[in-house]
Amino acid sequence: MSQKKPPGKPWESFVEQQIREAMEAGAFDNLEGKGQPIRDLGIERDPLWWAKKLVEREKVSLMPPALALRRDVAQALGRLPQMRDEAEVRRLLEGLNAQIRKLNATIAEGPPTNLAPLDVDALVREWRAGATSR
């Protein structure tokens, strides 16, 4: 399809000719999804459907960093009771503290963060107390 359109030949017939020649040469035989229904065909879309798909595919967060960190901390603290190993609990909490310190030092936009580093020893004691009662 790197040919130039000959002068005087309509675009439509030129494109159709190239498609036909590519089909005859087998250029479309091994395409991904061949023989399968087109995904999301018939789904009513909002005007920003493409942007939402991009955000979903690229796993981009539209949440300000301070709010995303609060969410991550809350989710991580909610997972603590299911953890079985103290070293794993400490790794998780130290990782959260590293994120909190980094964000507190670098945040430049969005709502300010008011998260202080977590008290790892106190949270581990709480985790131990909960683990012994299970």
What's the pLDDT at 72?
Answer: 92
Express as a percent the part of the chain with pLDDT over 90: 31
Enter the pTM of the model.
Answer: 0.55
Confidence of residue 122 (pLDDT cuts 50, 70, 90): very high
Residue 73 identity (one-letter amino acid) = V
Q: Which residues contact 36 (CB under 8 A, 6 or more apart)?
A: none
Q: Which of 30-34, 77-81, 98-102, 128-132 has the lowest mean pLDDT?
A: 128-132
Average pLDDT of the chain, as a whole number: 86
Q: What is the pLDDT of residues 19-70, one digit of tens each?
A: 889 989 998 888 888 888 888 777 777 888 888 888 889 988 778 888 889 9
8: left (phi over 0), alpha (psi -120 to 50) or beta: left
Tell me whether residue 98 is exposed, middle or buried, using C-beta atoms within 10 angstroms of its C-beta: 0 to 12, 13 to 18, 19 or more. exposed
State what percent of residues in the chain have pLDDT above 70: 95
- pLDDT value at residue 65: 85
